C-alpha cells in the first residue's frame, strides 16, 4: 500500500515544483524587463510600480526681481508734464541687436471699431473708466495717474498685478471697492461701470496662437458684457516693448503687433471698440519710447501713462 | 526526514507565492473616477480653495494629445497669490499613459518658458520643480510644494489600491 504521507513522489510535490519553476521564470523575466526599461526611460526612481518623470530644470529666472511693488513702483518722482500733449524724448532710438525692425511689424487694418480722434473728452471722462488688465495696467495705481492717486478704485488687476489671457475669465481680480478677490465679470456686475478699458495679451503673445488668443479674449469680453450689458467696453492695444526689454525672444514688437490685429478681431466680433494707443507709443523702429518706461522695457512710468490717458481722452467713446 | 521535506516544500511554496506576487506588477484600480481622487487629495493642498476647474477650451489648447483620455481634470489657481495647480488624466489602459505624460510635460515646459520672473517669485520653485507621475492608468502633474506633492502622491496611491 502506498504511503500517502511520503512527499517524495506525490503529485503534490510535483505541483509545488512546477509552481516554483514558473515563479522563477517570472522573476527572471521581471528583472530583465526592469533592466531594459530603466535604460530607455531613465526614471528618477522606481518605487511601488510607478515611474517618475522629473521635469527638467529649464529657464530659471535670470533676474531675482522683487515682487510687483518694486517693478511697478515709480522709478522716479520727477514731475510729469503739466500739459497733455504727446511728448517723446527720443525719436532716433536705435534698435537693439534683435528684431522689431519696422518691416517686421504687422500693420493694423482699417476697421470701423477703431476709435477715431475726437475732441478732448476731459478728465471727467477718464474718471468714469475702469481700467482692467495685467501688469501694464497695474502700474496706474502706484504711479497715481488716476483719480484718488494711489488709492484709486479704477484699476482692476489680480493681487499679484499680472494676468494672462488664457486664464482671464476665471482669474480673480482684487476688487478695489471691497478688497475681495472676485472675477472681472463679478466685479462688472457689482460696479456696472460706464466705461471699461481692457488691456490684455502681452503675457500671452509668447505662447498663444491666434485661435487660442481670440477664443479666450472673446469669452472674457462676453462674460463682462453679460454681467454689465450697458458698460461701454474698449479693448486697448497691447503696448510695445522697448529695446532694453530682457525677454525679447519671448515677447517682442513683432509678436505684439500681430497680436494687436487679433485684439481688433475680438473687438469686431464682440461689438466693442478698439483703442489704437500703441500708435503713439513707439518710435520709427517700433520700440516703445525709452522715456515712457520704468527701466525694464515693458512697464510704464508716469510719463508713459499720461500719454496713454491723453490718447484715450482724445479718442473718446461717443455716447 | 519527512518533516524536513515538508518544510522544504513549504519554503518553496512560499517562495513561489512571493515571486508570483512580485511578478503580478501594479495592482492599482483603473476605474476610480477622477472626481474621487480630487476629493481625496485636495484636503492636502493648502490653497485648494483658490483652485477652479479648467474649461474645455483650456484643455483643448494646452493639453493637445490628451483627448483619448477617459477622464481629464485640471485645477487652476484663480487667486493672484499662488501658483498651486494640478491635473489628473485617466487613460483607458496603461498603454495610453505615455502620451498623456508627454502632453503634461509639454504643458509644463510651455509654462516655464512663459515665466517672466517678475511676479510671485517665491512661488516659482513650484513651477520649476513641477512633476509628472504615472500611477497605474493615471497620469498626474503637480505644481505644488514639495511636501504637498509627496502627500498628494501618497494619497493617490492609497486611493487607487
Greater confidence, B37 or A56?
B37
- Residue in the structure block whose three cell numbers are 506633492: B149
Spell out which residues of chain A touch residue B95, defining contact as CB-CB under 8 Å.
none
Mean pLDDT of chain B: 91
Q: Given CATH 3.30.360.10, say whether it is the number of domain A88-313.
A: no
Locate the domains of chain A by residue range. Answer: 11-51, 88-313
CB distance A237 to A277 below 8 Å = yes
* Rounded Cα–Cα distance for residues B135 and B94 (Å): 9
Place of cell 488687476: A157
- Spatial separation of the C-alpha atoms in residues A61 and B106, rounded to whole Å: 19
Residue A130's nearest CA partner among A231, A210, A16 is A231
- Measured between CB atoms, which of B12, B112, B157 is closest to A59? B112
Query: How many residues are there in chain B?
Result: 161
Of A20, A58, A63, Cβ closest to residue B15: A20
B25 touches chain A (CB under 8 A): yes
Top mean pLDDT of A7-11, A101-105, B49-53 is at B49-53
Q: φ, ψ for residue A70 (rounded to 5)?
A: -95, -30
pLDDT tens-digit series, residues A242-300: 999 999 999 999 999 999 999 999 999 999 999 999 999 999 999 999 999 999 999 99
Q: Beta partners for B75?
A: B53, B86
Q: Residue B69 has what pLDDT?
A: 97
Q: Which residues contact A32 (CB under 8 A, 6 or more apart)?
A: none
B85: chain A residues, CB-CB within 8 Å: none
Check: CB of residue A275 under 8 Å from CB of residue A316: no
pLDDT, tens digit, 9 for 90 and up, residues A59-108: 333 333 333 333 333 333 333 333 333 333 333 333 334 444 445 899 99
Q: Is A38 on the interface with B (CB under 8 A)?
A: no
Whether B56 has its CB under 8 Å from any CB of chain A: the answer is no
Report DSSP state, residue A288.
B
Please judge whether B114 and A250 are an interchain contact, meaning their C-beta atoms are less than 8 angstroms apart.
yes
Give, in order, the Cα–Cα distances in Å from A131 to each of A138, A280, B18.
Answer: 9, 19, 67
Nearest residue, CB atoms, B57 vs list A13, A67, A215: A215
Interatomic CA distance for residues A100 and B160, integer angstroms: 53
Mean pLDDT of A17-35: 69
pLDDT score of B1: 65
Predicted confidence (pLDDT) per residue in B139-149, tens digit: 999 999 999 99
- Give the pLDDT score at A2: 43
Please write the tens of the pLDDT for every residue from A214-248. Answer: 999 999 999 999 999 999 999 999 999 999 999 99
Nearest CA in chain B to A170: B78
Distance from the A159 Cα atom to the nearest Cα atom in chain B, whole angstroms: 5
Q: How far apart are CA A39 and CA B4, in angstroms?
A: 43
Point out the residue among A17, A172, A211 whose CB comes nearest to the CB of B80. Answer: A172
Q: Average of pLDDT values for A203-213?
A: 96
B127 vs A: CB within 8 A: no
Q: Model-level pTM?
A: 0.77
Q: How many CB pairs under 8 A join A and B?
A: 166
Pairing of strands A155-156, A181-183: unpaired
Beta strands A50-54 and A129-133, pairing class: unpaired
Predicted confidence at residue A277, as pLDDT, reads 98
The beta-carbon neighbor of B135 closest among A50, A172, A212 is A50
Q: Taking the CB of residue B123, how many other CB atoms lie within 10 A of it? A: 17
Whether A167 sits inside 8 A of B78 (CB atoms) is yes
CB contact under 8 A, A51 and B13: no
Chain B residues whose CB is inside 8 A of the A170 CB are 52, 55, 76, 78
Share of chain A above pLDDT 90, in %: 66
Q: Is A179 on the interface with B (CB under 8 A)?
A: no
Nearest to A296 by CA among A74, A63, A71, A140: A71
Amino acid at each position: 500500500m502506498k504511503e500517502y504521507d511520503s512527499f517524495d513522489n506525490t503529485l503534490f510535490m510535483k505541483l509545488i515544483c512546477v509552481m516554483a519553476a514558473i515563479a522563477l521564470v517570472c522573476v527572471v523575466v521581471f528583472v530583465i524587463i526592469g533592466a531594459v526599461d530603466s535604460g530607455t526611460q531613465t526614471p528618477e526612481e522606481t518605487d511601488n510600480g510607478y515611474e517618475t518623470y522629473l521635469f527638467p530644470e529649464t529657464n530659471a529666472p535670470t533676474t531675482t526681481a522683487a515682487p510687483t511693488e518694486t517693478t511697478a513702483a515709480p522709478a522716479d518722482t520727477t514731475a510729469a508734464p503739466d500739459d497733455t500733449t504727446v511728448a517723446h524724448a527720443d525719436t532716433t532710438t536705435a534698435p537693439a541687436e534683435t528684431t522689431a525692425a519696422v518691416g517686421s511689424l504687422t500693420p493694423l487694418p482699417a476697421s470701423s471699431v477703431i476709435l477715431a480722434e475726437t475732441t478732448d473728452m476731459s478728465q471727467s471722462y477718464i474718471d468714469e473708466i475702469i481700467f482692467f488688465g495685467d501688469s501694464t495696467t497695474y502700474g496706474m495705481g502706484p504711479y497715481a495717474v488716476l483719480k484718488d492717486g494711489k488709492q484709486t478704485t479704477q484699476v482692476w488687476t489680480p493681487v499679484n498685478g499680472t494676468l494672462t489671457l488664457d486664464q482671464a475669465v476665471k482669474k480673480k481680480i482684487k476688487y478695489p471697492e471691497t478688497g475681495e478677490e472676485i472675477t472681472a465679470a463679478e466685479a462688472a456686475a457689482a460696479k456696472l461701470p460706464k466705461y471699461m478699458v481692457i488691456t490684455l495679451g502681452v503675457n500671452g503673445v509668447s505662447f498663444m496662437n491666434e485661435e487660442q488668443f481670440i477664443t479666450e479674449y472673446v469669452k472674457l469680453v462676453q462674460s463682462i458684457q453679460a454681467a454689465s450689458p450697458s458698460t461701454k467696453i474698449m479693448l486697448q492695444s497691447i503696448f510695445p516693448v522697448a529695446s532694453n526689454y530682457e525677454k525679447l525672444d519671448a515677447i517682442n514688437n513683432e509678436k505684439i503687433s500681430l497680436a494687436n490685429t487679433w485684439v481688433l478681431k475680438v473687438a469686431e466680433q464682440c461689438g466693442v471698440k478698439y483703442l489704437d494707443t500703441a500708435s503713439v507709443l513707439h518710435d520709427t523702429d517700433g520700440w516703445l519710447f525709452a522715456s515712457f518706461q520704468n527701466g525694464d522695457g515693458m512697464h510704464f512710468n508716469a510719463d508713459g501713462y499720461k500719454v496713454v490717458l491723453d490718447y484715450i481722452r482724445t479718442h473718446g467713446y461717443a455716447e | 526526514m519527512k518533516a524536513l521535506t515538508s518544510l522544504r516544500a513549504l519554503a518553496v511554496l512560499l517562495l513561489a507565492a512571493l515571486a508570483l506576487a512580485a511578478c503580478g506588477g501594479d495592482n492599482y484600480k483603473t476605474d476610480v473616477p477622477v472626481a474621487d481622487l480630487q476629493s481625496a487629495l485636495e484636503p492636502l493642498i493648502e490653497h485648494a480653495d483658490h483652485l477652479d476647474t479648467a474649461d474645455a477650451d483650456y484643455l483643448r489648447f494646452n493639453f493637445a494629445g490628451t483627448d483619448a483620455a477617459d477622464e481629464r481634470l485640471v485645477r487652476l489657481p484663480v487667486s493672484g497669490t499662488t501658483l498651486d495647480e494640478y491635473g489628473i488624466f485617466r487613460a483607458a489602459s496603461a498603454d495610453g499613459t505615455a502620451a498623456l505624460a508627454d502632453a503634461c510635460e509639454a504643458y509644463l515646459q510651455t509654462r516655464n518658458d512663459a515665466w517672466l520672473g517678475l511676479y510671485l517669485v517665491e512661488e516659482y520653485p513650484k513651477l520649476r520643480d513641477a512633476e509628472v507621475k504615472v500611477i497605474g492608468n493615471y497620469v498626474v502633474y503637480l505644481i505644488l510644494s514639495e511636501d504637498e506633492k509627496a502627500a498628494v502622491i501618497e494619497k493617490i496611491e492609497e486611493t487607487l489600491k
